[in-house]
């Protein structure tokens, strides 16, 4: 069963279905997942390199590495020389270059950032340019009581959903989320007048 809500992707081929899971273990197996995500989303990345990165991401997340035969154009047999021209034959494409890039972007997003609906406005301190899977794995073990082996198989989307359920926002946070921008500014000004600027 493919659980798309946590970032899994299913690919059906003549030889069966493959499951791609952007788990912490899969992300940790990549050399630099943050840079790979940047390469996939940047308009400055050469097409050939973007496709190569996409294939690397898919291979890292695949439950069966034989999916490689369905990525892009695969050469069949050896090149042959006919009348001075090198002739190559290729198999049919099941995962086109364009689809591979879209799939890889989705996998990395769910694997590192996590897709969850929440209204709380992120603070500047919430953003980071690094991703350390082992820290999230240990946090899951500590806060959710999940075995280490199982924690490695979770995606950031499933982790954030579980943490949100266990540690829901307080009534005060919920109320502030419903403020209009003007009301939030007034609240912050009032807060600062009493307690000083937020650190």
The answer to whether the pTM exceeds 0.85 is no
Given a contact cutoff of 8 angstroms between Cβ atoms, the answer to whether 3 and 10 are in contact is no
Say which residues have a Cβ less than 8 Å from residue 113's Cβ, sequence separation at least 6: 156
- Looking only at the bridges linking them, the beta strands covering 85-90 and 9-13 are unpaired
Residue 89 to residue 56: CA distance in whole angstroms: 23
Q: Which two tokens stand for residue 176?
A: 């502030």
- Other beta carbons within 10 Å of 185: 11
Residue pLDDT tens, the chain, 199 long = 888 888 899 998 888 899 999 999 999 999 899 999 999 999 999 999 999 999 999 999 999 999 998 898 766 778 888 888 888 777 767 888 899 999 999 999 999 988 766 545 455 555 567 788 888 888 889 988 989 889 888 998 889 889 888 888 776 666 656 666 676 676 667 666 665 665 5
Backbone torsions φ then ψ of 20, nearest 5 degrees: -105, 125
Helix (H) or strand (E) holding 184: helix 181-195
At 92 the three-state DSSP class reads coil
């Amino acid at each position: 069963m493919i659980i798309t809500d946590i970032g899994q992707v299913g690919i059906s081929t003549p030889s069966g279905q493959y499951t791609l899971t952007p788990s912490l273990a899969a992300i940790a197996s990549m050399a630099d997942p943050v840079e790979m995500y940047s390469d996939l989303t940047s308009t400055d990345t050469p097409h050939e390199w973007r496709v190569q990165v996409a294939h690397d991401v898919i291979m890292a997340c695949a439950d069966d590495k034989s999916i490689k035969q369905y990525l892009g154009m695969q050469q069949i047999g050896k090149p042959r020389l006919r009348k001075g021209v090198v002739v190559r034959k290729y198999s049919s494409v099941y995962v086109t270059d364009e689809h591979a890039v879209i799939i890889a972007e989705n996998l990395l997003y769910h694997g590192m950032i996590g897709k969850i609906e929440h209204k709380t406005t992120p603070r500047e301190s919430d953003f980071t340019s690094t991703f350390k899977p082992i820290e999230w794995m240990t946090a899951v073990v500590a806060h959710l009581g999940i075995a280490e082996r199982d924690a490695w198989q979770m995606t950031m989307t499933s982790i954030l959903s579980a943490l949100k359920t266990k540690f829901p926002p307080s009534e005060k946070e919920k109320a502030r989320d419903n403020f209009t921008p003007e009301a939030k500014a007034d609240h912050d000004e009032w807060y600062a007048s009493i307690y000083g600027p937020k650190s």
